[in-house]
Amino acid sequence: MALPFATSSSATASPGNPLLSFSSSISPSIPALPSRCLLPRRSHYRTATVRAKIREIFMPALSSTMTEGKIVSWIKSEGDRLSKGESVVVVESDKADMDVETFYDGILAAIVVPEGEVAPVGAPIGLLAETEEEVALAKAKAQSPAQSRTAAVSASPPSPVAAAPVASPLTVPAGGPRKLVATPYAKKLAKQHKVDIGSVTGTGPFGRVTPQDVELAAGIHPKKPSPPPVAAPPPVSKGAAVTPVAEKAAAPAALPPIPGSTVVPFTTMQAAVSKNMVESLSVPTFRVGYPVITNALDALYEKVKSKGVTMTVLLAKAAAMALAQHPVVNASCKDGKSFSYNSNINIAVAVAIDGGLITPVLQDADKLDIYLLSQKWKELVSKARSKQLQPKEYNSGTFTLSNLGMFGVDRFDAILPPGQGAIMAVGASKPTVVAGADGFFTVKNKMLVNVTADHRIIYGADLAAFLQTFSKIIENSDNLTL
């Protein structure tokens, strides 16, 4: 008996099930299936089950370090019809807010993760139905796991037990051989104390014989640890108030909160920054400082700042030109066993934004002039503050620049980002009395530069040579405009 209907797409048979499984809606206008797909003859025919095509919208991995994402907002609502490539939801990753598109046409039947909640990468956040008839089934599918979670949370906890129950040994069927399961140390103790380990009843997991079981069978009782001596209380001076001595409690796992303080959980970006900073502790780093005379750089900045060129762009350009002459400082070590020379010089610049820190990347900074770099930098900063950076625009850096000179900071150390070879910390340029080679004193503008580097691939001489080249470029700033 052939089925009187067929599907709009190819039908596939489920493994081990003679019934057909369909992956889309039923269309009565298509001819019947060929005779090789007939159902087997049985006394009672079963009704063929047609499975609806309900697809899940997953939480995407928007960056290599992202483990979970937060739903910022749903662009579409339940019941809206979607087209392939259309934006559905805005997800907050560890660095930016990004639109997530759908890969299929259909109807947004159910929202599994509402706005403001977090889901791990790969978890379903919504359900997409193919037809109107499948919307109800998709909603039921979305509600079933939610109901199970609610029932688990609302279930009353078991009543506390005064004493922990004693582990009962594994019951062995009478009359049947028992397979001996014992720890190696228990077997050694059994030989030492001449105990037939086959007659010992195990109290460990799955009836395993433990060393304590062997000792009890040998008549050896474990010694109870003697309580530590209690220190005598200090003598109370005459006239002092006497307070009762309370028993000392166990040390708390975490420090108690300060009275009046407010606990604020990390945002997604702050959690990512915290994770990266902890990872950087595993890298052996060293720091080298260098004074740089900036009179020529300051004069150039006065000429070009009206054209939108910032001091940060000038420093990034100078660092890129120095890296071109010292490629080892632009290298990176990611596995601890090898390092790679990066063909591109991509300068990542640290930028403080609301709720975190991000490093937009000026790609190929050595190949672009300062005016094109300034234009790209303004675009990157604007996208960073609106959390619209694409992953390549913040995770492709090969060298990082951190500038706090605009705040008047004269020197500081920067933490090396994971996966990079070096980071430069730039302080403020300030008038300083400098002694010349002729013995005369002059006043020049000088800034202090500190570079933190990965000592596995960059050595002191490499970093010193790089800083000397960087200083010469700054002191002859006309090269920056070439």
Tell me the catalytic residues.
455
Residue at token pair 């559905």:
88
Helix (H) or strand (E) holding 474: helix 460-475
Q: Give the Cβ contact number of residue 354 at 10 Å.
A: 8
Helix orientation angle between 295-304 and 311-325, rounded to the nearest 10 degrees:
130
Residue type, 348: A
Tokens of 269: 């970006």
Distance, in Å, from the CA atom of 265 to the CA atom of 386, rounded to the nearest integer, reads 21
SS3 75: coil
**Runs of H (alpha helix) within 115-198:** 135-154, 184-192
Distance, in Å, from the CA atom of 170 to the CA atom of 294, rounded to the nearest integer, reads 80
User: Do β-strands 351-353 and 347-349 pair in parallel, antiparallel, or remain unpaired?
Assistant: unpaired
CB contact burial 19-32 (16+ within 10 A = b; e otherwise): ebebebbeeeeeee
R_g of the chain computed on alpha carbons:
35
The answer to whether residues 387 and 445 touch, using CB atoms and an 8 Å cutoff, is no
Distance, in Å, from the CA atom of 446 to the CA atom of 425, rounded to the nearest integer, reads 14
Distance, in Å, from the CA atom of 425 to the CA atom of 440, rounded to the nearest integer, reads 31
Distance, in Å, from the CA atom of 62 to the CA atom of 73, rounded to the nearest integer, reads 16
Distance, in Å, from the CA atom of 361 to the CA atom of 373, rounded to the nearest integer, reads 11
Distance, in Å, from the CA atom of 269 to the CA atom of 357, rounded to the nearest integer, reads 8
Nearest-5° Cα angle at 71, 68 to 75: 140
SS3 70: strand
Phi, psi of 223 (to 5 degrees): -75, 135
Q: Give the residue among 239, 233, 255, 266 at the shortest CA–CA distance from 92.
A: 266
Q: Give the residue among 144, 104, 97 at the shortest CA–CA distance from 128.
A: 104
Please give the full DSSP string across 181-214, using - where no structure is assigned.
Answer: -B-HHHHHHHHHTT--GGGPPP-SGGGPBPHHHH
**Runs of H (alpha helix) within 250-328:** 268-280, 295-304, 311-325
